[in-house]
Amino acid sequence: MNEEQITRIRRSWALVASDRQTFARVFYAELFRLAPETRALFKPGMEQQIDKLSLTLAFIVDHLDQPDPLNAEVRKLGALHRDLHVTPAQYGPAGQALLAAFGEILGPVFSAQDARAWAAAYELLAREMQHEPPPGGATGG
């Protein structure tokens, strides 16, 4: 992530963060529209998940320039998603849903360059989440 991308990400996140639950709600509505089969992976009630996702996004945006805490958190998330049997193919629609949620909430204020910055961040994030640790590998302890 270069500085300009981080600035774009932080600026657009700041515009939705005052109502981050709404952002997460729109995100899941988009995800379930784009990939309806993913709905069954989640518990019926989404409120807790909406809270967790929005808090995690806030953490990620805050730590984009701090690779150590960011990667530690993202690897934990990745392991959790492997346990949940989230497949690599499901990361695509989640990325699209993220951009669609910004577009829906911010309209033209969310520029094509903002979208590219988020797409780049999501790609890094998704790749790191799917990175399998070596068998019996280091736990960092």
Neighbours of 76 (CB within 10 A): 11
How many residues bind ligand HEM, per CB under 6 A? 19
Q: Does 99 bind ligand HEM (CB under 6 A)?
A: no
Binding track over 109-138 against ligand HEM, x by CB under 6 A: ----------------xx--x---------
Cα gap 21→27, rounded to integer Å? 10
Question: Which DSSP category does 110 fall into?
Answer: S
Let me know: does 131 contact 75? Beta carbons within 8 Å. yes
Q: What's the distance, Cα to Cα, between the start and end of the chain in Å?
A: 28
Binding track over 17-56 against ligand HEM, x by CB under 6 A: ---------------------x--xxx-----x--xx--x
Binding track over 62-91 against ligand HEM, x by CB under 6 A: ---------------x--xx--x-x---xx
